[in-house]
Structure 1
Amino acid sequence: MESLSLVAFGVCLALVFPMSLVMTVRTWSRRRTWVHAEGTVTSVKTKRQSSGNTQTTVRYQYLDSSGQQRSGTDTPWFREPKRNSRIAVMYDPDRPEISEASSMTWLYLMLLFSLVLFVGGVILIVSGLGT
């Protein structure tokens, strides 16, 4: 019974990596087809949630290829930009109102972390099957 638990937990850990890989490939694909622009941070708001954690929301503006001013929001994972600072933005050329900050740092770190979980999951699967 214990070996079955190890295998099941190992499979759960190992599945994190393929899901992260799919997210990374989709984001890379979007980066190649979306238009890149420079945005300006218009506001940074941090809220304390009931759990005690804080969530920061950044609003930014950018100009699309037709010169129309657009705005968007993002929730940064690592760095909190200052108001009036410049950020890299990418937007859908077919629907320029859809945008996101184009930082990939969080995605690379998530991929690395999920790879560690994958290796741990494989080790648990092998040890569970070996008993």
Structure 2
Amino acid sequence: MESLSLVIFGVCLALTLPVALIMTVRTWSRRRTWAHVEGTVTSVKTKRQTSGNTQTTVRYQYVDSSGQQRTGTDTPWFREPKRNSKIAVMYNPEQPEISEASSMTWLYLLLVFSVVVFVIGGVLVVSGLGL
């Protein structure tokens, strides 16, 4: 029974890599097809959640290809930009109101983490199967 638990847990851990790869492919696809512009951070707000963790939300503005000023929000994973600082923004040219900060740092770190978890999951599967 313990070996079956190891195998199941290992498979669950190993599934993080395909999920991370799907996220990476989708993000790279957006990066290729979406428009890239420079945006300006208009506000940075940090809220303390009931769990004790904090969540930072960044509002930014950018100008789309038709010259219309747009706004967007993002939740940075690592570096918290300062108000009035410049950030890279990408937006959907077919729906310019849909945008996101175009940092890829979080995605690369997620991939590295997923590979490590995948390897751990593989080791657990192999040890659970007794190979």
TM-score range for the pair, normalised by the shorter chain length: over 0.9
Equivalent runs, 1:1-131 vs 2, <5 Å: 1-130=1-130
1:111 maps to a residue whose letter is L
Percent of pairs with identical residues: 82
**In structure 2, distance between residues paired with 1:11 and 1:106:** 24
**In structure 2, distance between residues paired with 1:64 and 1:114:** 35
1:9 maps to a residue whose letter is F
**In structure 2, distance between residues paired with 1:37 and 1:94:** 15
1:108 is paired with a residue whose SS is helix
Deviation (angstroms), 1:95: 0.3
1:66 maps to a residue whose letter is S
**In structure 2, distance between residues paired with 1:34 and 1:64:** 11
1:45 maps to a residue whose letter is K
1:66 is paired with a residue whose SS is coil
4+ long deviations beyond 2 Å: none
1:98 is paired with a residue whose SS is strand
Q: How many residues align?
A: 131
2:112 maps to a residue whose letter is L
Q: Give the TM-score, by structure 2 length.
A: 0.99
**In structure 2, distance between residues paired with 1:99 and 1:6:** 41
Q: Which runs of 5+ in 2 are unaligned?
A: none
Q: Give the TM-score, by structure 1 length.
A: 0.99
Q: Which runs of 5+ in 1 are unaligned?
A: none
1:71 maps to a residue whose letter is T
Deviation string, structure 1 residues 88-124 (Cα, Å, up to 9, x no partner):
0000000000000000000110111011000000000
Deviation string, structure 1 residues 53-110 (Cα, Å, up to 9, x no partner):
0000000000000111000000000000000000000000000000000000001101
1:78 maps to a residue whose letter is F
**In structure 2, distance between residues paired with 1:46 and 1:54:** 6
**In structure 1, distance between residues paired with 2:14 and 2:70:** 40
